[in-house]
Amino acid sequence: MNADLHIHSRFSGATSKNMRIATIAEQAPLKGLELVGTGDALHPAWLAEVRTLEEVGEGIFRSGTTSFILTCEVEDARKVHHLIILPSISAAEELRERFRRYSLDLERDGRPHLTLRGEEIADIVNETDAVLGPSHAFVPWTSIYKEYDSLRECYGTARIAFLELGLSADTELADTIAELQDVTFLSNSDAHSPWPNKLGREFNRFRLGDLSFTELKRALFRRRGNRVVLNVGFDPRLGKYHRTACIKCYTHYQLEEAEKLSWRCSRCGGRIKKGVRDRIREIATWKEPHHPEHRPPYLRIAPLSEIVAQALKVSNVYSPRVQRVWRELVMAFKSEIRVLVDVDPEDIAKVGGEAIAELIRRFRAQDFDIVEGGGGKYGEIIFNRKGKGAKNQLSLDNW
Ligand SMILES: [Zn+2]
Ligand SMILES: [Zn+2]
């Protein structure tokens, strides 16, 4: 069961007007997703849309072949984001009521601002039987580790159910931090639009009994055999906050250099933001990752539409030609993740042409260079150098 548990509706700031249930439900299976978080579950108009769907299991709503579970994100008094997964519509309404006196934009913004601290939010969430954890935990603007050096400083003794890695980190990086050894990691897209390079660009594969909130909660706490069996996400170097960089001209800096410059870019005077890689190095316990036994593999992927665009030598990933070929591939082989990882390149060539098949071969062999992301600019995969040879072959077979 593939699930993307963090998206935003059109009622959050800076989101696509196409973030409608029907459109998300139609796009999700193309990415191989069976379960998607609704996002913005505290927003009255969005919750009203969810309410029109058939409830097919405890806290699970269905549109077409896609299941939805209630989720939302809130920003606390220190600008730290928390992702919340809720058991029911009534729990969402209860949470909205309890947050009301601490928020001025609860009815307006799908991702409301609260005047509460992390620990206070966690206590309220836990009392409503919902679960929470820090969103995109290492990013420089709105995350727990931009503000604190430990989980406890944010949450006190309150229980959290997971930590979301964010696009610029993976388990290799996060497992250098001792206090996270027992925490389940989630890899979610945080999509603001339903299109294939956003929705499901990161997701989790769960092992569950049936599909319900309680079963999902058990998986987060790794009970009764339920668990996350695979995290699928960006190569963290592709994330837009991976490296320390200027937010105006995107020049990369070493941490010491940025400190010496008092976080002002020597080229353009813009602000320098600490990258996720450097932040994790600061708080790391170990130089090398220590993966606990329960930690699932992390499969590093990149959006297929971007690989298609490169193969077709088209710079705009949203161009109709790229979108058409992407759709043909995904329709022919059921989902994007299968094309990226499973399908025989010879079969891919028959549908999408030899150039795409060749890039998929090289992608699987990790035969490419990466221009790392930073300062708000995504990284890029560069296929132009030939013949570096295969490293670890990507495969989904063992999971
Ligand atoms: Zn966020
Ligand atoms: Zn600059």
Q: Residue 45: how many CB atoms within 10 A of its CB?
A: 12
Ligand 2 centroid–CA 189 distance in Å is: 28
Alpha helices, DSSP H, located in the chain:
21-27, 44-51, 89-100, 118-127, 144-147, 151-155, 171-174, 213-220, 255-260, 276-283, 304-311, 320-333, 336-341, 345-352, 354-364
For 243-299, what is each residue's pLDDT tens digit?
Answer: 999 999 999 999 999 999 999 999 999 999 999 999 999 999 999 999 999 999 999
2-237 in CATH: which number? 3.20.20.140
Give residue 394's pLDDT: 57
Whether 267 and 246 have beta carbons less than 8 Å apart is answered as yes
Q: Cα–chain-centroid distance for residue 62?
A: 22
**Can you give the pLDDT at residue 399?**
39
- Residue 197: what pLDDT? 87
Distance of CA 278 from the midpoint of ligand 2 (Å): 18
Kindly identify the ligand whose nearest atom is closest to the C-alpha of 263: 2
Is residue 308 within 8 A of residue 329, CB to CB? The reply is yes
Task: Please name which ligand lies nearest the alpha carbon of 111.
Answer: 1
> Which residues are bridge partners to 298 per DSSP?
231
How close is the Cα of 275 to the center of ligand 2, in Å? Answer: 15
Contact predicate 348/325, CB 8 Å = no
- Which 3 state secondary structure label does DSSP give 304? helix
Cα–Cα distance for residue pair 165/135, rounded to 1 Å: 7
Surrounding ion ligand 2 within 5 Å at CB are: 246, 248-249, 251, 265, 267-268, 270
Domain boundaries, the chain: 2-237, 303-382
Give the C-alpha separation, 338 to 329, whole Å.
10
Ranges in the chain, pLDDT < 70: 385-399
pLDDT of residue 398: 39
| CA 358 distance to own-chain centroid | 28
